[in-house]
Structure 1
Amino acid sequence: MKTRSQMKNVLHLTHTDIESDSRILKEMGALSDAGYAVSGIGVVLDEGAQKSTVSFSADITAINLHSRRLTFLPRTLRHIATLFELVAKMLPRAVRARPNVIHCHDTFVLPLGCIVKLLTGAKLVYDAHELESNRNGLTRLQGVLTLRVEKLLWRFVDALIVVSPSIERWYHETIGSKLSAVILNSPLFYEGRQQDKNYLRKNFGIPTESKVFIYVGILGNGRGIDLLTEVFKDPQISSHIVFLGYGELSEELKILAALHPNMHVHEAVPHSQVVPIVQSGDFGLCLVQDVSLSDYYCLPNKLFEYCFAGLPVLASDFPDIRSLLAEYGIGECCRLQVNDIRDAILRLERSETIFRFASLKPLSWKAQEGKLVALYQQCLPTSDH
């Protein structure tokens, strides 16, 4: 058995709160189980997300970024100020960690990762949680700057991790070929851990005969929420909808829920509780809007949370989503128009169609762990690990 000092050190860098970021925690846990010593430096955020319990040995640090409060500055200037503060505060800690691998989550910490690589000789893994330069919420200028940063620093990247096949292809074709792996954002879910199958009906007083559609995720713009609320106002719809999450639209949705008895808002819960709660619904909703190339090529974590909960999915008709739903028989797609969504929901609530799921093992987090560890083994020569 190796002591911690004999293990290869993996340092995760991110501009998010690590203890609220399920993807980072799952990857850290997988690497810890594979025999690496893992640590992470993130930031303090208070966005309403629930923190998760860390079940593995890890040194996790969260720093305060005061520049994020400079709201009087234009967004791009504030972004740059935050970057400089992040590098200044994280760099000494990162160098002291003497990592063998720096695992950078998203472009914001990539410059820092490259500096640490040059100072320590570590390998650099770039984990793009989205198509970073063309994603929802970026201004045009931020998108251009992000792509330039990626292209400038690409030669320092030893391995790339992405969240969908189309995004992997985009990076290879647009920036350059790189050792890479698609790590799907599947839930860490244990069979047999199930909530009461009537939990949502009991919690919100939903009639037994009514179908329950559930939306999981950020309650923000660009996620089809406005379309869903419009659809569920329609008197033809007998189903109920539950929104589970947090975000800028939370209060607006609570007001709508008070006015419409078939709309409900469930407070955010830790990631470990999402799938058990979702199991008490009938259908999952994954209607991402085509507001960026990253959204068009996405495979969101909610898609996997639904299918591992056993719920068929009504999803956006985007290439990677359509391919996944067809291959595993886990749902259907529709166009993002109110009439099309309403027709699809009416069809699902009235139909006795049974979706016959294929084996979900290739989509499981255990399968993703295998791909992650294999990438690390390719990145670090056997003699080094």
Structure 2
Amino acid sequence: MHDRNKDCLAALREGKTGTWIRPRISGADALGHVISGGDVDAAAERFVRFAPILTMLFTSGAWDGHIVSELLDFHGPDDANWLVKGDHALPMTGSIKARGGVHELLCIVEQIALSNNLSLDRLTTPEARSILGSYRVVVASTGNLGYSIGVVGRAFGLVAEIHMSADAKAWKKDRLRDIGADVVEHACDYSETIARARVAAENRRDTMFVDDEGSRHLLTGYAVAADELARQLDARGVRVDAETPLVVYLPCGVGGAPGGITYGLKRRFGDAVATVFVEPVASPCVMVALASGLASPPSVYQFGCDNGTIADGLAVPRASALMLDAVGEAIDAVVAVTDSAMLDWVRTAWNRSALRLEPSAAAAFAAHAPFNLAAKHEPEWPRLDRATHLFWATGGSKVPDPEFTALLSPDYADAEG
């Protein structure tokens, strides 16, 4: 094992911030063959087909049915000009899961419609709701994926069964129950919850299982965001090339969302974009997978980590093997950050730009300093002082006011463990 890998694993055992970095930025040739560009294009077309239907199901505001977030300005330390991808405010569910999770759900609805001779323009009729109501979608979640599947699934009339790990926040479970979803609570971590949900869905008639560890539809739904971002950067006149690279900081749980986005970004920008996955020091599942060099993703418990973190969306002990097959060689860096750093950035993001972020989303900002320090010591990395730094805000706009106010207190303690 390389000394740099030993060093980052040693830092994790001590509960300290750690950085794993590839010796040089990877290009599109590092992408695996789990999904293809054609798969991503098909996902983009599916989102367009369903846009009129989504506007009928979610009628608040002047939304046009397209799942698009703003590209926001943010003043970083020393007046650095940073950009933020505002997926924390995406329509319907207020998190990045409105991309991959909703895409998977649209695939399920489309499959049901085809098997029942329903045209898409009839999906909001009483007849369609009666048919869709005979089908059940099952998913495991630490919070936002389950919330997104539940909210949009119930809007279509599907029965939604959401298995929630011990890390999931109470308010997310309460809101799911309020819209008629079946919430199944498990006193175990995310990996075990997925295993239990998978068993619960087996051999059940008219039941579809959304597999966060092994779904290609999730990956392609997230990957669509790359072309959206490219259009926004172009509209701002932001160049992305070898001289002015793009560095994107992506909060990471099991890996589906950052993995899909990485696929899309590498497909679009090649080695002019560097993707930095960000994890809690207690749950660095992608870091241990890459640094250990093991053939299959190991558990963080094997490396002295306890998976206990305030960032419920990132509390995952084992990375997705499918995601690693798809983009494992294309991940340029992984940074593990502390809970206190995430909380500091929740407050900073709010105080500087009124960004309402969960700790999971604020993790992206906390990775900037340790990553850039590590990159300075890599001789084959470009100088990043000319780079565009972009932080993917993955969720937080739906956090209830009392919960968010508590996060802003310097004396905050996570009452839910």
What TM bracket, shorter-length normalisation? 0.3 to 0.5
Give the number of the structure whose residues are more often helix, by fraction: 2
Between the two structures, name the one with larger relative contact order (CA 8 Å, sep ≥ 6).
Answer: 2
Q: Which has the larger radius of gyration?
A: 1
